[in-house]
A and B are shown apart, each in its own frame.
Chain A
Amino acid sequence: EVQLVESGGGLVQPGRSLRLSCAASGFTFGDHAMHWVRQAPGKGLEWVSGISWNSDSINYADSVKGRFTISRDNAKNSLYLQMNSLRAEDTAFYYCAKDWKKTTGTFFDYWGQGTLVTVSS
């Protein structure tokens, strides 16, 4: 059974940093691209960032480019999102999502339960 478990969310002040993690199991992690998708409370879905199976291709939404860094460790079956210079508008549930393919990005066939990031003073 595919499982994606996010962690690392919480309350953080504007301008500070936070690192999210996603632990994957139930599939060959290194055979798939991975993504972060966020959802502000009560709002729609926004793709944030994606990384190819071997980390050769990394992409970001314009809204986070230069502030967020995605990475992965295939040996640990883990995906990460380093979020710097956080803003109030970054407040959202952050979902780890598995891509159907190795290379970025198609559609997301599995999602984690999400971790809530709240940016507030």
Chain B
Amino acid sequence: DIVMTQSPDSLAVSLGERATISCKSSQSVLYRSNNKNYLAWYQQKPGQPPKLLMYWASTRESGVPDRFSGSGSGTDFTLTISSLQAEDVAVYYCQQYYTTPQLTFGGGTKVEIK
């Protein structure tokens, strides 16, 4: 199974500042035939289910603010919140779907306000 490792476990960022979350996979999730990275990002606010933010590593889900962006390829990926808002306090998870049907998540990164 592909192991997804996120870092840091938690981070505190001032309102309006940038937050950067890393996700590394134990093997590449880039499918060469279509040049797509099989990676998604989710946001989970306290007491709520996860919400899809990003798929194909960098495609924003409909309705997701453009301050959220995804980047990276192969084994190294980043989720960036360009200007942190209070409503962005949450735990963020990456998930690979390269080794479908076996799907795996990263351990999560908690984002708080400094």
Contacts and interface: CB of A to CB of B under 8 A. Distances in A.
Contacts of B106: 44
Given A106-B100, A107-B97, A109-B61, A45 B52 contact: no
Contacts of B102: 47, 59, 61
Contact of A108 (B52, B100, B101, B107): B52
Contact of B97 (A45, A61, A105): A105
Which range holds the interface residue count of chain A?
Answer: 20 to 34
Which range holds the interface residue count of chain B?
Answer: 20 to 34
Q: Is the interface of B mostly helix, strand, loop or mixed?
A: loop
A29 interface: no
B105 A57 contact: no
A61 B101 CA distance: 9
B77 interface: no
B55 A107 contact: yes
Contacts of A104: 100-101
B97 A46 contact: no
Contact of B100 (A45, A105, A109, A113): A105
B95 interface: yes
A61 B1 CA distance: 10
27 contacts: A35-B103, A44-B93, A44-B105, A44-B107, A45-B42, A45-B50, A45-B95, A47-B105, A50-B101, A50-B103, A59-B102, A61-B102, A95-B50, A105-B97, A105-B103, A106-B40, A106-B55, A106-B97, A107-B40, A107-B95, A108-B50, A108-B52, A109-B61, A111-B49, A111-B50, A111-B51, A113-B49
Q: Which 7 A-B pairs have the closest CB atoms?
A: A107-B40, A59-B101, A111-B49, A104-B101, A47-B103, A45-B105, A105-B101
